[in-house]
A = this chain, B = another copy of it.
Amino acid sequence: MKAITVALDAMGGDFGPRVTVPAVVQALSHFPELKVILVGDQPMITSELSRLGYALEDQSINNRLTISHSERVISNSEKPSLALRNSAGTSMRIAIDAVADGDADACLSGGNTGALMALSRFRLKLLPGIERPALVTALPTALGNKTWLLDLGANVSVDADTLFQFAVMGGALAEVHLDRPPRVAILNIGEEEIKGNDLVKRCAEMLSQTKSVNFSGYIEGNQLLHDAADVVVCDGFVGNVCLKATEGVAHLFIGKLKEHMTTSNLKGWIARKLFSGLIEEIKQLNPDQYNGASLLGLRGIVIKSHGSADVAAIINAIGEAVHEVKQQVPSRISDRLEAVLLERHY
C-alpha cells in the first residue's frame, strides 16, 4: 500500500488546532495509507495532541504524523494579492509548498479561499490548457446521488472558453467518483426568457460540438438538487450565490423543524420522536453537510475545507484529498483536456 501524504493547514478555519488536530488523529486511524504533515503552531498542536492523550512518539501515529512549525497565519480578511506577497512562513503557504516540493501529495486548508487560490496558482501552476482554476463541490440530490457544481467563487467573471474548461474539469472529477461518463449541463435561466446570456450560449455551442463531453444542455436553478445532471457549470458569482442561497433555505427549514422539536411539552417530545429521522434526511440534503471543495485545474491537489468545519467535516475533506490522490485527478483532467483539445483542433 502506497502512502498518501496530506499537508494540512492546522491553523486555517474558525477553530484551528482545536478541530484540525482531533480530525487528523481520527483520519489516521480511518485511512491506513494516510500520512499527515500538520502545519502550524507547534506548541498549540502538541498541547492539543496531549489533551487527546497522544504524543508524537506514540506508535499509533509515529512516522505517520509530522509537525511543520509555522508562526504566521493568513487572516480571512486579507486580500489575496497581499496575502500572496506576505505569505512566507504562513501555515497555508508551507502546506502548499509541501505539495509543490513533492513532500506531500495533497494540501488541505480551511483558511482564506482567495489566498488559497492565489498561492496554489503561484506555487503549483495551472495544468496546460487551463486558464483559471475552479472551485467545485458535490451537492446532494433528492435521489441520494451527487451533482458537482462549479465554479463556486474562484472566478467572479469568466469567458466561454473558461466555462468550457470548467465543464471538462468537472466532468473528469465526476467520472472519478461515478465511474461512467457524467452528464454535463450549463446552469441557465427560464426557458420562456431569452435563454441566457452570450456566455452560456457560446459555451453550449462549444460543448455540443465536443463528442468527448456528454453534454446534456441547460438546466435551471430549481433542477439543481433533482438529478438533472452530474456536473453543472456556471461562473463563480452565480455558483457562489446559488450554493449559499440553497444552504440558507436548508438552514431555515431545519430551524423551523427544530423549533417544534425543542419545546419541553408533550408535543415537543412527540415531535422529537416523529421528526428526528426527517431532520437527518433534510440535513443530508443540505449542501453544507459535505466538506472538501476541490480547487481544479492545478498541477497538484488542493482541497478547501469550510471555515466552520467541525471534526467530522474535516475528516470528510481529508477523505476527498485521499480519494483524489489515489485517482490522480490532475492527470485525469489533463488527459480529458488533451482529448478535447485534439478533437477540437483537428
Contacts and interface: CB of A to CB of B under 8 A. Distances in A.
A251 interface: yes
Interface string A134-158: 0000000010000000000110110
A234 interface: yes
Interface residues of A, number: 63
Nearest to A78: B192
Nearest to A243: B221
A226 B252 contact: yes
A262 to B, nearest CB: 13
Given A113-B193, A156-B189, A248-B226, A221 B236 contact: no
B245 A246 contact: yes
Interface string A9-32: 000000000000000000000000
**Taking each of A154, A189, A197, which has the highest tally of chain B beta carbons within 10 Å of its own beta carbon?**
A189
Contacts of A257: 257, 278
Contacts of A142: 252, 255
A2 interface: no
Query: Oligomeric state, in number of copies?
Result: 2
Contact of A250 (B156, B253, B270, B278): B253
B282 A275 contact: no
Contacts of A277: 260
A79 interface: yes
A244 interface: yes
Interface string A271-289: 1001101100110010000
A278 B268 CA distance: 13
Contact of A224 (B77, B192, B224, B248): B248
A256 B236 contact: no
Nearest to A284: B256
B245 A194 contact: no
Contacts of A281: 256
A130 interface: no
Contacts of A217: none
B80 A194 contact: yes
A137 to B, nearest CB: 13
Nearest to A228: B248
B225 A248 contact: yes
Nearest to A285: B252
A69 B245 CA distance: 43
Interface in A235-249: 236-238, 240-249
Interface string A87-130: 00000000000000000000000001110000000000000000
29 contacts: A77-B192, A79-B194, A114-B194, A153-B190, A157-B197, A157-B198, A189-B236, A189-B237, A189-B240, A196-B237, A220-B241, A221-B240, A221-B242, A222-B247, A223-B248, A224-B245, A224-B248, A226-B252, A238-B238, A241-B242, A242-B245, A245-B246, A246-B248, A253-B253, A253-B282, A256-B282, A270-B274, A271-B275, A274-B274
